[in-house]
Amino acid sequence: MRRSQLAVSFVLALSVAGAGGASMAAEGPPPAAGDAGVPSAAVDSDRGAVDRVGELVTAFEGAKGFARAAVDYDRRSVAVLWKGQPPAGLTKLAETDPDGVDVTIDQAEYSEEEIRAAGMSLMNDEIAAGSDRTITATYADEASGALVVEVDSAAPSSARSSATKDRYSKRVGNIPVTIRAGTGRTQQTTRQNDYAPYKGGAGILLPQGAAAAYCTTGFAITMSNGTGRLLTAGHCGETGGIVRDASNQGIGYLSSVDEPTWDSALVDPTASPATTGVIYGGGSYNQPGSARYMLDVAGGASPLFGQEVCTGGANSGEHGGSACTGITVTNTSINVQCGAYVCNTFRITSTARTLALASGDSGGPVYIQRTDGRVGARGVIMGGDTAKVVGCPSGMPVQGDPIPGDPSGTGVLCFWEGYAISIPRLLNRWNATLETN
């Protein structure tokens, strides 16, 4: 699987080169009468109830033994897999059927942490050896819970041999391994004139060598010292780099970058107030007064398997419509190549195999639509799968092939499947809270 970082033929880190102990606000109840939130008829109450119960379940994901949580809107249920004895609070939740949602707990052979660590070790072994990197992703098999190792579709047959599978299994403590092929790598990706206080979903320009990277801001966060920052993708720039909006007006600089593990960076605006708990919705050139021009952020939680979300990038715009449907979380813990490193991500897939994200969307927000009209943060876009490419629409702010300054010559790509970093993990990394509105 090629995942694209910058504009090379990997998870397309959705930046485009050459474009000229934390807490998180829980997703609270709908606003009272007179508040700004407006109920959305497009999001049915059954789905809203399932999402709310799913958020209660994700509160336990950091406990030892958590393996996976998945939603099923049609069955009005949340299914949890757990290795060993689940926490008493989770067991009690399953016994109460909150909001009429059925919560089930079944046993798992391996925890999410065990599978994540095992996969990371295999991928980091390749990096340390300096050899050709054939492993493009690792994650838990949905049926068996064993370790799945995806290899580059161009890799030799030996990369999928029984001997290789046995060697991988032995290396990770005899966890069963399945090798799958036929996917691409990751290309990491990068609205057009933001203003203070700054918001998520906006286009930004950052210096990258002799050129500039076009990326997207994710969500506004508040640091432990009370200052505001904007999340974006770590591959977009380097610490200290000047950040401008897509109209080339100054915003601030990159105050911190953590690319190896989280592919995350913080934009420090010079204005005061610096940031606000709002993201841009709609198309790349959405204007004031347009539908979904700005969307209030209500809080955030971890993504759930089967959950439907929206993606929002400055280059390709918002995908998923007003109800955030048609783009589904298809894996909640998958290790993928992110440039020269390995990152733990969740996978997002357009069920109709239509546009979900594009080069230039790196750092942009992934979110659900709530019944009160606000959105719930789920993650930040990292990149797109270069084996899952669709045609790009005309009129995107950055498009063309090749992009000046991009050594790969790949140019802008559009994808029906990609990867994002979970919002709780990013908040924990930066010891920050999510800004809400």
Strand 203-208 and strand 102-107: the pairing is unpaired
* Residue pLDDT, tens place only, 17-60: 554 433 344 454 333 322 233 334 445 678 999 999 999 999 99
How many Å apart are CA 52 and CA 302, to the nearest integer?
Answer: 12
Q: Does 236 score more than 80 pLDDT?
A: yes
Task: Please report which residue ranges of 99-245 form alpha helices under DSSP H.
Answer: 112-129, 162-171
**Residue 83 Cα to chain centre, angstroms:** 25
The closest of 247, 269, 301, 282 to 199, measured between CA atoms, is: 269
Q: Which two tokens stand for residue 370?
A: 């709530």
Which amino acid is located at 368 in the chain?
Answer: I
Q: Does 379 score more than 80 pLDDT?
A: yes
Place of tokens 């069963």: 176
Torsion over CA of 364, 291, 309 and 413, rounded to 10 degrees? -50
Burial of 124 (0-12, 13-18, 19+ CB in 10 A): middle
- How many C-beta atoms lie closer than 10 Å to residue 188's C-beta? 39
The closest of 305, 405, 291 to 349, measured between CA atoms, is: 305
What is the pLDDT, as a whole number, of residue 106?
96
Share of the chain above pLDDT 70, in %: 85
pLDDT band at 179 (very low <50, low <70, confident <90, very high): very high
Kindly report the pTM of this predicted structure.
Answer: 0.82
What 3-state DSSP class applies to 154?
A: coil
In the chain, CATH 3.30.300 covers 116-184
* Residue pLDDT, tens place only, 344-363: 999 999 999 999 999 999 99
Q: Does 209 score more than 70 pLDDT?
A: no
What is the pLDDT, as a whole number, of residue 190?
44
Q: Which two tokens stand for residue 333?
A: 């813990």
Mean pLDDT of 306-332: 97
CATH architecture of 116-184: 2-Layer Sandwich (3.30)
